[in-house]
Structure 1
Amino acid sequence: MSGDRARKPPTRGDYVAWRQVTTRWRDDDAYGHLNNATYYELFDTAVNAHLFEATGVNIRALPQIGVVAETSCRYFREIGFPEPIDMGLVVDRVGTSSVIYRIGLFQGDPEGEGAVAAAEGRFVHVYVDNERGAGDRPVVPLPDVVRAAVEPLLR
């Protein structure tokens, strides 16, 4: 990464679609902040919940499904239970057979500390044939219904 995005945490204005989730006691680790694995669960939820809602179909049953090819997370500050988390979603790229998402996690007052992301994830879906066995799934083009759901999130 280069430039300001490599150094500065993103702000709420960097995202297009939003959802809020509640935190649970079990989400925190022994140090009292959100466990690293929970961040990745939230990224997965943000992307797939958007796809379910925006397409209006069960994305698991499509002839082509998105599998996770890459994820990463940049951490900027601690967050955790009991406050809710706002998840912002934006799409960086829509390719022939893949989508690159960014998910910002925000906690706290949107006019104060919560105006800046506590963490940002990168999440890459690659579409494969859902009707083939798990070990033999060729990469395929995005379904039209998915393309229609993600293109409005391009920034």
Structure 2
Amino acid sequence: MSRPIAPTRADFRHFRRLDTRWMDNDVYGHVNNVTYYSYFDTAVNAYLIEKGVLDIHGGGTIGLVVETGCRYFASVAFPDTLEAGIKVAHLGNSSVRYEVGIFREGADSAAAAGHFIHVYVDRDSRRPVTLPADLRGVLEGLV
């Protein structure tokens, strides 16, 4: 089986700076694999909050993660500064597939690349809803 090729910056639509933390490192001296999923959540949700389409405390529509995955290409460690590239690979009626690349600051190739799928639901009923128009508009800019 051939090793997948790391995505590059050109594969993503938006970037967000992320600072590694002391606690991100594991006993092997690099950022632990599970920490990347936190980076993914932080990059995407911060973007949506900044764009005014996600109200984590009172919004009627929330995104629930139903699938995740990640591939690792190079180690990163505290005190590296990272940049998360994000894009929307699929925009459905009530779901979105985000793809995220984690880059060392200034690097062209991703150290890790992953995805997660949000299904947007009504906060109270937890039933899927059609993406609100303002959210869809922001997400279309990441396709």
When normalised by structure 1's length, the TM-score is 0.86
Amino-acid identity (%): 46
Contact 1:91 1:150 in 2 (8 A): yes
Paired amino acid for 2:10: G
More strand by share: 2
1:58-137 correspondence runs (5 A): 58-108=55-105, 110=106, 114-132=107-125, 137=126
Paired amino acid for 1:128: V
Residue aligning to 2:129: 140
Q: SS in structure 2 opposite 1:18?
A: strand
CA distance in 1, matches of 2:93, 2:136: 9
Paired amino acid for 1:151: E
CA distance in 1, matches of 2:43, 2:113: 12
Q: How many angstroms does 1:56 deviate by?
A: 5.4
Q: How many angstroms does 1:138 deviate by?
A: 1.4
Which string of whole-angstrom CA distances, capped at 9 and with x for unpartnered residues, describes residues 71-123 of structure 1?
Answer: 11011111111110110001101100001110000015x3xxx2100000101
CA distance in 1, matches of 2:127, 2:18: 34
Question: Which residue, 24, 29, 53 being the options, matches 1:27?
Answer: 24
Contact 1:51 1:59 in 2 (8 A): no
More helix by share: 1
CA distance in 2, matches of 1:119, 1:74: 6
Gaps of 5+ in 2: none
Q: How many angstroms does 1:142 deviate by?
A: 0.9
CA RMSD of aligned residues (A): 1.6
Name the count of aligned residue pairs.
142
CA distance in 1, matches of 2:53, 2:121: 20
CA distance in 1, matches of 2:21, 2:44: 20
> Does 2:36 match 1:39?
yes
Paired amino acid for 1:145: D
Q: SS in structure 2 opposite 1:123?
A: strand
Contact 1:55 1:149 in 2 (8 A): no
When normalised by structure 2's length, the TM-score is 0.93
